[in-house]
Structure 1
């Protein structure tokens, strides 16, 4: 058994936003370093913690966590669509182990994933079916949220199973950091928005394009300082990255949903994927961060981070 980790921000604006050339170069270099790290590690199995943005999970049924026994990418924001190579038997064994650790884990035999899960696979492997992948959905947009302590314990339960496998396992956490994109909130949503939040599966091409254009337009306004969304919070982001790198994740237990939204934006809850991934890595023993990148990038509406780490075993 050996474990490695890549955590990275994602953004639907990677191919649509236009940050300064030096910022784009820095992001590309961070991605290239992560690819080199993964190529050297050469994983035989990938476990991906990722959120969803009302493309696969909706308020008709919104679990805090869910393991996919099969998964299909919806292809939003020009990301790759189609099936992932999910080893159903290993996904089932993982789900049973997590349940046996007293963590309530939902399962899906027909999971749908969006850019949040797809972008890291495209960036690191060039596609969604290059390696066997077990996808784990972590709710990062829809209230109510489970506690960060519970997220940490879930990640530890996943890691306690992975450490027993005769595999080279790459754990991915996708999301964050501080950001507040124009995702509707149930409490303030219009009737039409609530219909989408309740079950907006498989929209028409025109409806998806209109929804995506709203995000692109907001990013352009935000970069000009004109959008009515919360500012990025580099200090909050850097503190969170420090915690991830420290090996002691328990201080995240004190982060509450209200404080996270106030300090870092409504979609800062996506850092739950990072917490779960680092907790899974830490469950196998001490780890070492091998690379850390961070930039606040308004054009992506994100405090944008990339970290890689290796377990000691």
Structure 2
């Protein structure tokens, strides 16, 4: 009898230990989504030894009046920083704060954002910029007016991404309504430097482009990425091109991120992280849980991104587990 009890106790403790180990193992990965709440259009940045995600608060346009941010030292444990910017400090913005893009320059942090979802050149709104002394803000409006408030080349002024080139020049890529422009920012981020031909906004729209541009450099090549499909539908996805300069021409290669009907739908509007000093790459994006049909019910996720021997991006496998902690 004593022997049977001992065996039973061993089995119970073994089960408990296995369960505990399983939970500990799970904590070593981020899980997807990486933090709770409805958040979309995530932009990732590295400031010092911390990783930051700046997303859109995913709600009806009238409720999109602020941004939250999230910071982490390992991509697994995230700290929420609430209302780093809101319309109370941007007098011309009243709703639809979208797709923040954040850069650091001269120990200042700049957040570029779209506001008001303007539909023509006569409405107030477009792309603005705010500044702060810390990555968590608070951010204050830099210019008191939009930087871009017109539909140049047919591009709605939304979904901005700021890219620093190898020579130190900063460019802003942006555009909805299936058009994408690029312009060179001046040193204070308060305006633009015209191109050699006298123009300020050049169209660089690749085949299939809808919105959400992003760019990075790898092995001397410029990888230009964007979102395709409808943002509220299951076909939302990410495609890319490779070029020898930030101005293209950008020949569409194909999709690398899209829905998996077994995991989630509407996977799109992303950013890319290369862990400094490594060849480890991650894609940060939003998607819609399988049990959600509301277009605003979107969550932020992270998965690994890999390249093949020719430098092409392999199709991303979207997961529920997410990524392992970075040590």
Larger C-alpha radius of gyration, 1 or 2?
2
Q: Which has the higher contact order (CA 8 A, sep 6+)?
A: 1
Structure number with the higher helix fraction is 1
TM (norm. structure 2) is: 0.27
TM (norm. structure 1) is: 0.28
Structure number with the higher strand fraction is 2
